[in-house]
Amino acid sequence: MRAILLGVLVLAGCETLEAPDDSIPCDQVSVVVGANTPPDGVRADTKLRGYVMSPDGVAVRRVTVQGIVAKRIGFNFSEWEADLPIVTLRRLALDALDGEEATDVVPVELSLFAEHACGWQESTAVIDVEPGDGMVTSLAVALRAPNASTTFIPADGSVPATVEVTTPQGVGSGTPVELTVTGGRVLASRVILQAAGSGGGSASTLAFATEEGTVRVDARVEDVFASGTILAVGAPDISPSGGMLLAGQSIDVAVETRGALRECEAIGSANLVATVSGSNLGEVPVTSFADPTRAIVRVTASETENGGRLTLTCRDVYGQTTRAVFEHGGGATPPPEQEPPP
C-alpha cells in the first residue's frame, strides 16, 4: 500500500510539468535562446550557462554554443550549460582582433542555436576573453630520466620520467595541453602551459612505465600535436637462469640489460664459486663493470666436495633484481682411505 501511495505522490509532483507539445502550428511558435555571460574576462575553460524560453511549449531538442552541444539542466532546456575550452575562445579572440594589438580582454561573439520541433532559433552571446600572448602553433615533448647520465627508466614503474611540454613562442598562461600515453601512465592527463622566461610556454608532469619497451607521450592542443619517448628497461637477464653442475664443472653465465648494471653478488655454499674477471662474488659484490650492459659470471663446482647451492643476484641502477640458482650435483672423487695407524 505504501509503495502505491508513493507512486501516486511522485506522479502528482509531475503534474505541473507538461510534455513539450509538437502539435502546435509552426507559424505560431516563439522560441528565445540566450546565455548568462561571465562578468569578468575568461582566462580558462569556462562553463557557460544559458536558457531557452518556449512559451508555446514547443519541444526543444538540442542547444549548441559555437557548435558545442550543451547539457540540459532544466525542463525542455529552460536551463542549460556548455563547456567551452579556453583554446577555442582564444582562437575566436584572435580572429576578432584581426591582426590588431591585443588588449586585456577581447569581446567574443558566440553563436547560439536551439533546435526545436519546428526548426531552430539562432542567437548570439558576447563574452570577454583574455587573449593571452598568442595561439600555440607548435609543440615539443621531451621525456627525461631522473639521472642525467641515464636515458631510460625502469619498467616496473618504481621511478618516473619527467615529461616537459614546451612551445617556442610566447603563449598566455592557462592554455591546456591534453596528454595520452602508450606503454605507461602519466600523473596528469592534462597540463597547463605557463609563460616561461625564454618567452615560450612550458608545462610538466611525470610518466611511469607499465611494461618493457618504449613509453610514448603524445601532446595535443587542438590540431597541434607532438610526441616524446623514453626507453623502459626491465630487470637484468641471466642466462642460463640456473642449473646443476657436476664436480669440477664450470659454466659461463651471461648477465645482460638494456639499461646499466649496478652490482652482482653470490651467496651460498663454498662448494660453488662465482667469479667476474677473477673476483669472487661470494666475498665482495662486483659493482664496477667494463661494459655496464653485460657481464660474464663464471660458476665453478668443487672437484672434491658434493652438494651445495649458490644464488647469483644481479641488480640494475634502479634496483630491479634478477636471481639464478645453481646446485652442485655431486660426482666428486672421495679422498683415498688411509690405513689406520698401527
The 3-state secondary structure of 16-75, one letter per residue: CCCCCCCCCCHHHCCCEEEEECCCCCECCCEEEEEEEECCCCCCEEEEEECCEECEECCH
The pLDDT of residue 336 is 53
CATH tag, 26-129: 2.60.40.650
- Residues 163-185: pLDDT tens digits? 999 887 655 556 788 999 999 99
Identity of residue 252: D
27 SS3 class: helix
Average pLDDT over residues 179-192: 94
Residue whose C-alpha cell is 505522490: 9
Sheet holding 242-245, edge to edge: 242-245, 321-328, 309-316, 261-268
CA-based radius of gyration for the chain: 36
Cβ atoms of residues 337 and 309 within 8 Å: no
Torsions phi, psi of 256, nearest 5? -135, 150
Question: Where residue 12 falls among pLDDT bands split at 50, 70, 90?
Answer: very low
**Grid cell of 234 as nine digits:** 626491465
**Grid cell of 10 as nine digits:** 511522485
**Grid cell of 291 as nine digits:** 661494459
Count of other CB atoms within 10 angstroms of residue 229: 16
Alpha-carbon distances of 294 from 239, 257, 268, 308, rounded to whole Å? 11, 7, 23, 27
What are the structural domain ranges in the chain?
Answer: 26-129, 140-233, 237-328
Q: Is the pLDDT of residue 100 over 80?
A: no
Alpha-carbon distances of 164 from 104, 135, 167, 173, 204, rounded to whole Å? 29, 19, 10, 16, 4
Q: What is the mean pLDDT of the chain?
A: 84
Average pLDDT over residues 183-206: 85
- Residues 235-285: pLDDT tens digits? 999 999 999 999 999 999 999 999 999 999 999 888 999 999 889 999 999
Identical fold at 140-233 and 237-328?
Answer: yes
- Domain 237-328 coded CATH 2.60.200.20: no
Question: Where residue 43 falls among pLDDT bands split at 50, 70, 90?
Answer: confident
CATH tag, 140-233: 2.60.40.10
